[in-house]
Amino acid sequence: MSDLYERALELDAADPLAGHRAAFALDEETVYLDGNSLGALPAHVPARMADVIGREWGQLRIRSWDESGWWTAPERIGDRIAPLAGAAAGQIVVGDSTSVNVFKAVVAATRLAGEGRDEILVDASTFPTDGYIAESAARMTGHRIVALDPADIPAAANERTALALVNHVDYRTGRLHDLPGTTAALHAAGALAVWDLCHSVGALPVGLDEHGVDLAVGCTYKYLNGGPGSPAFLYVAERHQDRFDSPLPGWTSHADPFGMDSGYRPAGGAVRGRVGTPDILSMLALEAALDVWDGVTVDAVRAKSLALTDLFLECVRAYVPEGRVTPITPERHAERGSQVGLACADAAAVMPELIRRGVVGDLRPGLLRFGFTPLYVGFADTERAARVLADVLAETPAS
């Protein structure tokens, strides 16, 4: 038994979150390190969905919009997500994809910023959809895109800046960007801060209210385990809600949606971020999935996440043949999200073999990506993943 394996067993034995793994439908043979792409299935969700489909839809049918709480699900589930993102109730609404919510947030932020501010700063390393949509929103609203390293955004913000759209954690490198400092610098320049939380919500403390974030978006199928294509969310800080002018003012965000007015009159609060009929099946699967957070604090998740990624990086250094992989994830805790990216020239050959041997990560061009979801990944799993990676690399000729 290696020292690192023994240490992993000790860490598992002392892990306060170890018991939560049983809440997920996972087999013992697989080390699932892809929860930063698609979270695992919470074990109780299928029974809840059988009830939603069989009884709420099958028997109650149209009555379920009221009697089963379907109509209010977007804001009700938003309030379940709120504590995980450090937001008070009434500011998050669930629905649509992250991409659509990026569009709403960017256009609405240009309207909140007002006249005379013609620049939108974007994170140059952003997940592509954010960049595509910000560019289109800029063309529609007569703004100019300035793409920057997120670390340079605070110094670049000026009197022409309407907003910055920034990823809290970089999807490739796992780098955690400075949300409090960047938000404060944007505000000092009179601009708004719009954050993409896809890779941070459910993995680490976000502190939306504490840090005065203006608008934020995030997905729910990664660390929130909502299921494939589960709806995303939009946060609009309470102080902006009265002036939040959605570019997609659909009927479900109307003050009186069943009045069928020809003129638009926005509802108050988070509801104003809604667009059309909510995708109830996905939404209720997400709502059920959020039960796994009962009794769990984000701080405990963060502490374990850092311990897991520390151990993984240490095992990779100890086991993997010299020169075959290069970690691109920051060593410093303050700069690290909940995933580890390893640059690897042979990534395309290595990942399928890793998956065949029960270690499931994912592949991006030239990159092996491993996500650590503290609610169901353990320390022995983490040591095993690095050991299997070392075996696979030792057997795969370097290209």
Ligand X SMILES: Cc1ncc(COP(=O)(O)O)c(C=O)c1O
Among 15, 34, 96, 196, the active-site one is: 196
Kindly provide the b/e burial profile for residues 64-91, where b requires at least 16 CB atoms within 10 angstroms of the residue's own CB.
bbeebebbebbbbbbbbbbebbbbeebb
Which residue is listed with tokens 């660390």? 223
Of 32, 70, 103, 171, the residue at the interface with ligand X (CB under 6 A) is 171
- Counting Cα atoms < 13 Å in the Cβ hemisphere of 300 gives 12
* Two tokens, residue 276: 């059309």
Stretch that binds ligand X, among 83-91, 107-115, 195-203, 375-383 (CB under 6 A): 195-203
Interface with ligand X includes 167 (CB under 6 A)? yes
Regarding 125 and contact with ligand X (CB under 6 A), the answer is no
| Residue 339 binds ligand X, judged by CB under 6 A | no
The yes or no reply on residue 199 touching ligand X (CB under 6 A) is yes
For residues 345 and 189, is the Cβ–Cβ distance under 8 A?
Answer: no
Which of residues 56 and 362 has its CB atom nearest to ligand X in the complex? 362
Residue 196 binds ligand X (CB under 6 A): yes
222 a catalytic residue: yes
- Short-list 300, 397, 315, CA closest to 359: 315
Q: What gap in Å lies between CA 388 and CA 354, rounded to an integer?
A: 7
Q: Which of 30, 68, 97, 136 binds ligand X (CB under 6 A)?
A: 97
Active site residue 221: yes
The dihedral formed by the CA atoms of 25, 29, 30 and 31, expressed in degrees to the nearest 10? 110
Q: Which stretch binds ligand X (CB under 6 A): 39-47, 95-103, 330-338, 352-360?
A: 95-103
Question: Which one, 21 or 369, has the nearer CB to ligand X?
Answer: 369
Catalytic residue among 172, 222, 324, 387: 222
Is 12 annotated in the active site? no
Annotation says 104 is catalytic: no
Contact (Cβ atoms closer than 8 angstroms) between residue 130 and residue 136: no
- The residues binding ligand X (CB under 6 A) are 97-99, 127, 129-130, 167, 171, 196, 198-199, 219, 232
What residues act catalytically? 127, 196, 221-222, 369
